[in-house]
Amino acid sequence: MSCKALLILLLLSVWALVSAGPVAGAVLGPWDDTPTTIPKSAMGAPALALASAPSAAFSIRAEARVEPKRETYPSNLPLDYIVEARWRGELGAVAVKTPQNPTLENLECERTSVANHTHPESGEASAEFRFTLKPVAQGAAHVGGSALEYSTGPEKAAAALHVDGVDLIIGKPQRDWRRIGAWGGAGAAGVAIVALGGLLFFRRVAHREPEAPPPPSPFEALRAQAAALDRHLIEGDEAAFYGEAREIACKGLALAGLFDRRSPTATEFAQWLDSRPDDEREALRPAQAVLEQAERVRFAAARPTADENRAARKDLEAALSRLEKIAPKEESGEARSS
Amino acid sequence: MNQPGVMAAAAPAPDIEAINALVKEESRFVDALVGEIAKVIVGQKAMIERLLIGILTGGHVLLEGVPGLAKTLAVRTLADAIQAKFQRLQFTPDLLPADLIGTMIYNQKDGAFTPKKGPIFANLILADEINRAPAKVQSALLEAMQERQVTISDTTFPLDEPFLVLATQNPIEQEGTYPLPEAQVDRFMLKLKIDYPSKREEREILERMGASVQDFHVQRVITPEAIVKARRAVDAVYIDDKIKSYIVDLVFATRLPAQYKIPVEHFIQYGASPRATIYLARAAKAHAFLRHRGHVIPDDVKTIGLDVLRHRVILTYEAEAEEVTPEDVVKEIFDRVEVP
């Protein structure tokens, strides 16, 4: 064997050892610094670009693809350009450097992400670089090729795999029915809520109950009760007329805080009245007259004349107005507020 | 609060004007009689009024008060003013029933037993310190009060009309006494508690009674026969159904105070008897008569209510322990039962 032949044999052995790397643990193959070029895919065909290291024992390959796979990409939806390096062996056997952003035509890069995967079914691992792209306008678009640098160990020299770019066609914007449905539903719900609120407001405004007037003061209530006394006379029930008149007078006395007895007799009231100051005594004479007349009618079967009935009404009204003046003010206020 | 079933059936409308006229006519003596008694007795208007109620209704009166409050003098003056036959009996532990009602005396001339009527045969009897006589004497008196007749041997003698027993008892000095049983106390229409006179009255008593020789001439104002006639006018006094219901409510409230929301149930052992209902109505009528009124008003019932009910409400030991008196309970009932 000649020297030239021995030199060729030595070079081949070194190349095989480098190609196998630490994963395979085999003899490395020859290092090819020249990126492997994947043939450009046809326009409109599913975008896929592949590259692989020319090694028999260790193999690494790279591919580029676009997801989702379409012939025409709607101008209003983003798409993912994915560059993936896949090799046989463990995930940590190969360190893949994040590639530079590809050159873009009629596209904009929204965001990038990196993910590593293991594939136990095939004994492979992969590094995935995802570029989310947004179409700029309708028409032809292009994603430039990328170079994936990798190394199989810290002391090993870096190699690179090259993937070709892909051509895309950006078509008309697609209606996103799901989004439209979601927004439409939200809008309909909003409209419904606004309509319901409006309806409630309308009903409240249009059919608002008139505000209840403040409750009358106790003396106003008694005066109203006294004003309705004549119904008993219309029915011919004078005993009921005077019974209620007496009740009103007693309530007025109690409200004025003058007489603490629950229901005083006319005599008891007269005796009490005698112990009061002159002005108060004179002021309360009408109340005494009501009580006495009530006793005559109710217990002596007296039949008063119409004039006497009118006089009793006047006495009762006079008694109430005088009692109201005597009544403590805070009591009236409390009663009114309650 | 009316109990169901106690409302009286509707009666024809009474002629109140006629009743009023009758009462005014028949009650003219009242003011004169009270005036005559007032010549002797200072104050004690309530006692005099109750004595008149007793005379006008035939209801006996039990007076309770310390000695010296003119109980005996008032009764004697009343008897003088109506010129009624008056007897005073001082009850003592050795008194016998025969000393009260009389006995049969053997007459040696004709060899026959003749009845000798006792002091009970009078119009007005003052049984002084009734609780000092033994039970058999008390029974004899109380039986006569109830039956208005006395049987001596085998002969029954009706008592004179009007017949009224005014008994007194001293609330102090209870030793050696025979307290009246509740059943016998119930036969008294009214139980009066006589109190001391006021300062002004005491001074007036001093002015009148200061001399060692007193000369009070009480004129006769009415005869016993006129009293009996006046009683018929008292009976005619109109009492409305509402007042009747009020009286029944009051008596029921002494028995079932809880039904009337009166918090005295634990103080009452026994409430008032139906006799209280009768006497309340009769006394109220007589009170109206004394006011020259032909109809009863609630005030009549209220005025005499305490004197009718105080001895008919039997209290519990709890009430005694808490020093609650029958007067306290009855007053509470009158305050709480709604006036018609």
- Residue B337 CB-half CA count within 13 A: 31
Q: Inter-chain contact B297–A299, Cβ cutoff 8 Å?
A: yes
- Determine contact: B304 vs chain A, CB below 8 A: no
Q: Per-residue pLDDT for B1 more than 50?
A: no
pLDDT given for residue B247 in this prediction: 94
Say yes or no for a CB contact (<8 Å) between B338 and A266.
Answer: no
Pick from B24, B246, B295 the residue to mutate for testing the A interface (most A CBs within 10 Å). Answer: B295
Quick check: A265 and B340 CB within 8 A?
no
Q: Check whether A16 has a pLDDT greater than 80.
A: no
Provide the pLDDT for residue B244: 93
Mean pLDDT calculated for residue range B115-134: 87
Range in A146-155, A241-250, B97-106, B292-301 the model is least confident about? A146-155
Taking the Cβ of residue B331 and every Cβ of chain A, the question of whether any pair is shorter than 8 Å is answered with: no
What ipTM score was computed for the predicted complex, to two decimals? 0.73
Which residues between 270 and 299 in chain B have a beta carbon less than 8 angstroms from any beta carbon of chain A?
Answer: 293-299
A250 vs B: CB within 8 A: no
Who contacts A111 (Cβ-Cβ below 8 Å, separation ≥6)? Answer: A132
- Of A59-68, A91-100, B174-183, give the lowest mean pLDDT range: B174-183
- Label residue A297 by pLDDT band (50, 70, 90): confident
Q: Please report the number of interchain residue pairs, chain A to chain B, with beta-carbon separation below 8 angstroms.
A: 48
Cβ within 8 Å, pair B243-A264 = no
**Given this model, what pLDDT does residue B12 score?**
62
What is the DSSP secondary structure assignment for residue A83, as one 8-state letter?
E
Dihedral sign from CA coordinates of A183, A188, A189, A193: positive
A chain contacts of residue B21, beta-carbon cutoff 8 Å: none
Report for A138-147, A293-302, B136-145: range of highest mean pLDDT: A138-147
**Amino acid, res. A171:** G
Query: Where is mean pLDDT largest: A152-166, A206-220, B242-256?
Result: B242-256
Residue B222, burial from CB neighbour count under 10 angstroms (0-12, 13-18, 19+): buried
Nearest to B19 by CA among B221, B239, B340: B239
Nearest to B48 by CA among B36, B65, B57, B66: B36
More confident residue, B204 or B157: B157
In our burial notation (b when 16+ CB lie closer than 10 A, e otherwise), range B50-88 reads bbbbbbbbbbbbbbbbeeebbbbbbbbbbbbbbebebbb
Q: How far off is chain B from A265, nearest CA to CA, in Å?
A: 6
Which residue, among B295, B67, B31, has the nearest Cα to B169 in the 3D structure? Answer: B67
Find chain B residues with C-beta within 8 A of A263's C-beta.
338-339
pLDDT digits (tens, 9 = 90+) for B73-82: 888 888 888 8
Among A residues 285-304, those touching chain B with beta carbons less than 8 Å apart: 295, 298-302
Mean pLDDT, all residues of chain B: 85
Report residue A146's pLDDT band, with 50, 70 and 90 as the boundaries.
confident
DSSP, collapsed to helix, strand or coil, labels residue A330 as helix
Nearest residue, CB atoms, A265 vs list B295, B298, B336: B298
Q: CA distances (Å), B16 to each of A233, A300, B11, in order?
A: 21, 6, 13
pLDDT given for residue A273 in this prediction: 84
Q: Where are the alpha helices (DSSP H) in B148-221?
A: 182-185, 199-209
User: Is A264 in CB contact (< 8 Å) with chain B?
Assistant: yes
- Mean pLDDT across chain A, nearest whole number? 78
Question: What confidence score (pLDDT) does residue A332 get?
Answer: 46
Residue A48 token pair: 């896929």
Q: Cβ neighbours of residue B30 under 8 Å, at least 6 residues apart?
A: B52, B289, B290, B292
User: What pLDDT, on the 0 to 100 scale, is given for residue B252?
Assistant: 93
Region B25-53: mean pLDDT is 86
A5 inside 8 A of chain B by CB? no
- Say if CB A139 and CB A168 are below 8 A apart: no
pLDDT over 90 (residue B281): yes
Q: Is A215 left (phi over 0), alpha (psi -120 to 50) or beta?
A: beta
For position A249, what pLDDT does the model report? Answer: 85
Q: A79-88 and A104-105: which strand pairing?
A: unpaired
B235 pLDDT higher than 60: yes
Chain A residues closer than 8 Å to B334 by CB = none
pLDDT of residue A42 exceeding 90: no
Among the CATH numbers 1.10.287, 2.60.40, 1.10.3470, 2.10.110, which is that of A32-171?
2.60.40
Q: How far is CA A275 from CA A40, A270, A280, B198, B302, in A?
A: 125, 9, 10, 18, 20
Percentage of residues of chain B with pLDDT beyond 90: 21
Closest in B242, B243, B338 to A262, CB measured? B338
Summarised one tens digit per residue, pLDDT across range B285-326 is: 999 999 999 999 998 999 999 999 999 999 999 888 888 899
Domain residue ranges of chain A, discontinuous segments joined by +: 32-171, 218-337
Q: What is the mean pLDDT of residues B88-97?
A: 88
Distance separating alpha carbons of residues B296 and B48, to the nearest angstrom: 20
CATH class of the domain at B16-336: alpha beta
Q: Residue B285's pLDDT is what?
A: 94
User: Looking at residue B245, what is its pLDDT?
Assistant: 93
Say yes or no for a CB contact (<8 Å) between A267 and B299: yes
Work out the minimum CA distance from B14 to partner chain A, whole angstroms. Answer: 8
Higher pLDDT, A196 or A9: A196
Query: Distance from first CA to last CA of chain B, Å, rounded?
Result: 10
Q: Which residues pair with B158 in a beta bridge?
A: B149
Rounded-to-integer distance, Cα A274 and Cα B259, Å: 35
Q: How confident is the model at residue A25 (pLDDT cuts 50, 70, 90)?
A: very low
Q: Do A265 and B240 touch (CB under 8 A)?
A: no
Task: Say which residue the tokens 């799901």 belong to.
Answer: A178
